[in-house]
Chains A and B, each alone.
Chain A
């Protein structure tokens, strides 16, 4: 049973297309995240949701829109894809709460997006 699963694993698409990445966690966590890892392996947070509520929205183009239908799911929709969007996108989850700084984030396997 995969704790944090994201689909698809690979996504190859043309510039200008719209695509979605889905993420589900079965850990009972309250908080879910999207990260982007660029070609230099730098990992940067994009969004986080706590119990379906948007908590963090970093400086990300508004072509990226997260959606959390329930606390176990966090999807990422990307409109009008650009070459610079090519990266690995990771979903993660953790417990929330007052002691959140102690909580481990568990990651999905990543989605490698290639925009041609």
Chain B
């Protein structure tokens, strides 16, 4: 069964607008970490933001915030004030306490339109 689901293969957003990239996950572990990575066309994987399963508050890093809804098992990435440089693939990932590996979702391709 797929552990990480990203239902939006491709998204478009107008420059300066906010955009939400969806991520749902499946785990029975009480402890886990959720991550978002950005992969621009140059190919590198860039860590953006982390949310722990026990964290009370949603994580924020600059223009990135994570809308964490534990009961729904969702961890959506919100990018505020989109910039052209935000055009990239975005991967949601999860690491469970009982498994020593990170599982990645299939990714969402975001295109920012001027």
Find out whether the CB atom of A88 lies under 8 angstroms from the CB atom of B100. Answer: no
A15 is an interface residue with CB less than 8 A from chain B = no
Interface SS majority for chain B: strand
Inter-chain CA distance A43–B94, complex, in Å, is 13
- A interface secondary structure, majority: strand
Residues A104 and B47 in contact in the complex (CB < 8 Å), given A43-B104, A56-B101: yes
Query: When the two chains form their complex, are residues B104 and A101 in contact, meaning their CB atoms are under 8 A apart?
Result: no
Q: Which residues of A contact B33 (CB under 8 A)?
A: 101-103
Interface size on B, residues (CB 8 A): 25
Residue of chain B at shortest CB distance from A41: B107
B50 within 8 A of A: yes
Binding site for B on A (CB under 8 A): 31, 33, 40-45, 48, 50, 55-56, 88, 90, 92, 100-107, 109-110, 112
